[in-house]
Structure 1
């Protein structure tokens, strides 16, 4: 949603490559969930429900690789272990900055990110197709159950 930023009000503008983490969650596995801004955005600001990190250059870590690295199972385990709380889990930015991750060379990051992004695209397309086919199946079953459609049995095949 859009918010009004009043004159003199300080806001943190975000830009391409910024990495965001949720600060709290009701579920320990979701605390510190990350997102990376991979689009050029104008007048977009960081909200109070997350904190961000800005990569100073992309010579050590590419945003496209960071997107996959920080959502990987091993990274998520490291991050969620930092969550503290009982009914609501919170994440300390200071603790998060102390985490270390193994990062391959830039040329490998680019290749890995490309393969994973392509796989995500294919998975998304297949998921949409599965959803469409399930909906079609449901409609056909409804037609069969109401008698609007009949099944003809081939006597020779039986």
Structure 2
């Protein structure tokens, strides 16, 4: 199912597979854009893991390592395990602009390998003034109404975008990418209604993949408990 989703994404973002409007008519042609045309940058902090805690807190902080390893393309604060900023961090307040907002894209700007450099998540659910982004992250905030919620998270993980990101990554032991180079990345942007169809289709695939993963976890837990009872 994961491979099927990867194949579906490749066909959708290469325009080999196109959706039609509800009346059967074709959507308008996609428009070529640069990342800098549709996003603006928002300030992030530089807190490392030592200043984060999973104990109770007020403001949660997105760490780039969690983007690499566990956060979904469409990030929902209520379902993700995000650490809080610890009292010893020295950071007390943030401007309204620095808090993550719905539609923001958070990009990991550093990695030890090409697979995770530039990996991104889109914030699709967040509580007000409760989430910021930290060490080795950029927040790209949509500056026009041309992006449909849920589309950007998949766009930034599509094969055409990933190929470009790998090309602009620089470094030897640790790879990095700059905002200036990210702004130059090009992509094809569909009509908002077609964006929604793409986002809905991929989100439905993700939901099925997660449901299967949850079933496997439950089965493994059941099996482990059963074996323990058998050999007591």
1:120: Cα distance to partner? 0.4
The reply to whether residue 2 of structure 1 matches residue 85 of structure 2 is: yes
Q: Structure 1 40/143 Cα, relative in aligned 2: closer, same or farther at 3 Å?
A: closer
**What pairs up with 1:1-158 in 2 under 5 angstroms?**
1-3=84-86, 5-6=91-92, 12-43=98-129, 44-58=131-145, 60-137=146-223, 146=231
More strand by share: 2
Show structure 2 runs of 5+ residues with no match. Answer: 1-83
Query: Quick check: 1:11–1:46 contact (8 Å CA) kept in 2?
Result: no
Query: Quick check: 1:24–1:49 contact (8 Å CA) kept in 2?
Result: yes
Query: Quick check: 2:100–2:133 contact (8 Å CA) kept in 1?
Result: yes
Question: Relative contact order (C-alpha < 8 Å, sep 6+): which is higher?
Answer: 2
1:11: Cα distance to partner? 7.3
Aligned mates of 2:108, 2:159 — CA distance in 1: 17
Query: Quick check: 1:16–1:41 contact (8 Å CA) kept in 2?
Result: no
Instruction: Give me the TM-score of the superposition, normalised by structure 1.
Output: 0.78
1:10: Cα distance to partner? 9.6
2:142 is paired with a residue whose SS is coil
Show structure 1 runs of 5+ residues with no match. Answer: 149-158
Q: Tell me which residue corresponds to 1:156.
A: none
Instruction: Give me the TM-score of the superposition, normalised by structure 2.
Output: 0.55
1:62-113 deviation per Cα after TM superposition (whole angstroms, max 9, x unaligned): 2311111111233222212211111100111100100011111111001111
Aligned mates of 1:93, 1:45 — CA distance in 2: 18
Query: Quick check: 1:11–1:45 contact (8 Å CA) kept in 2?
Result: no
Aligned mates of 1:63, 1:9 — CA distance in 2: 24
